[in-house]
Amino acid sequence: MSHRLLLLLSIVRLLPGRATRGMTDIIAGMDTDTCGFRESGSFRRVLMPYGLPATGETEVADGCGLRVTGGKKQCGCDKGRGSRFGLSFFERAKQFTLRKMIPTLEWTNEGVRFLDQTRLPLEETYVLAKSYEEVADVITTMVVRGAPAIGVTAAMGVALGVKNSSAQTIADLTREVKKISAVLAETRPTAVNLFWAITRMGERFEALKSRRGVSVDEIRAGLVAEALKMYDEDIAACRTMGDFGAPLMPQEGGVLTHCNAGALATCGYGTALGVIRSAVSAGHKLHVYADETRPFLQGARLTAWELMHDGIPTTVLCDNMAASRMRAGKIKAVVVGADRIAANGDVANKIGTYGVAVLAKEHGIPFYVAAPWSTIDLETATGDEIPIEERAAAEVTHHGGKQLTPHGVGIENPAFDVTPAKYVTAIITERGVLRAPYYEALRGMVLAGS
């Protein structure tokens, strides 16, 4: 694909009403120390952020930056070539960064394309899953993670499996859908969005096959369309959540978050980080404190990466530092995501969230949970009934391929814990902000929605 076409795609995605299904117009990852140019291995790349004015072709110039037709180099970095934008490339990019979608996942004709989150922040690479089995593996190995993103990934896995199926009859396709759904359902047990998405795709399949005279190909097309619709809905929900949650953030000061509940955990924008993004866009002067989130380090690797990507001031804390920072008055609010919310308001989220909530309560700091409605599980009465995934011991015993613990030592590695509802100040959803008592609030919102 030519650079001119890539630039055209970037412009098209800014048109009103244009639904974005992943940032396919990436020319490169962005660096923060010059004008967007960086070296990566044996090749060099440049990123054109969404909304950044540009003319002509975009290509790699020697040393850094952009080149337009006629050979005139544009950069504005310390190489001394100046900038036609009046600001450095990086400063100009920061003004537009909140418009840009981080490419968590994307449907393509070849399969589902994922940003490999296991390699961030030092390496931006992509994984193309060409079968539903490969989609399941991407979920299990945490190439993609975060409850909303897992849900849409599962939907795309179903769509991809059906698209690739050799079934010639609806009866054969029905057996295939059950098989595909069962494989995807076995990947990760805690994130309810996974099961919500599989159920929704199953219901759509039943509705499609009940149509008189419907063909197998029409069913395939209908399931792909449903998965893409869920993708768009997720982005819209995150932005609406951000609008509801922004007024709850302090006008100025520190906000603590745990794990990564940002664009990387969704199809774009984020839940907890979406609230922060919306608050910053509304003029709040926030400094984010990101718990490193052991053992997988989602906060240190992912939250820090995407917030720096947006130019939002960020400091990484070791998980055992939150209490001292709260006592020092540096934390004014806490906002986290969720993998499942029970009917009574108990919240399952990344391991360590419970401890943060207790500390916030002790220090009189509001503790907010931001999650889409698909994360709420009204069929689960309390957090005691939420299944907690136990992950491999190697995530604790090893780091970077090096063993850190003695041979034979016992290891526990629950991926999540449950925060009792009494510690939750409010739950932010795309339908509105809920406050205790949560059982009544959730039921009331269900009734209002119906």
Positions marked active-site:
339
Number of Cβ within 10 Å of residue 437's Cβ equals 12
For 137, the 3-state DSSP assignment is helix
Is the alpha carbon torsion for 194, 197, 203, 204 positive or negative?
A: negative
The Cβ-side half-sphere exposure at 302, using a 13 Å CA radius, reads 30
Alpha carbons 286 and 280: distance in angstroms, whole number: 7
For 394, the 3-state DSSP assignment is helix
Alpha carbons 92 and 193: distance in angstroms, whole number: 37
Residue appearing with tokens 């991809």: 160
- 336 near 259, Cβ under 8 Å? yes
Cβ-proximal residues to 447 (8 Å cutoff; 6+ apart), any chain: none
Task: Give the angle subtended at the CA of 370 by the CAs of 303 and 434, to the nearest 5°.
Answer: 165
Per-residue DSSP letters for 77-96?
Answer: STTS---TTSS-HHHHHHHH
Structure tokens at 192: 């309810």
The Cβ-side half-sphere exposure at 187, using a 13 Å CA radius, reads 32
Number of Cβ within 10 Å of residue 53's Cβ equals 10
Task: Give the angle subtended at the CA of 374 by the CAs of 373 and 377, to the nearest 5°.
Answer: 90
Task: Give the angle subtended at the CA of 141 by the CAs of 138 and 146, to the nearest 5°.
Answer: 75
DSSP-derived secondary structure letter, 17? T
- Determine the length of the chain: 450
Burial of 254 (0-12, 13-18, 19+ CB in 10 A): buried
Number of Cβ within 10 Å of residue 79's Cβ equals 16
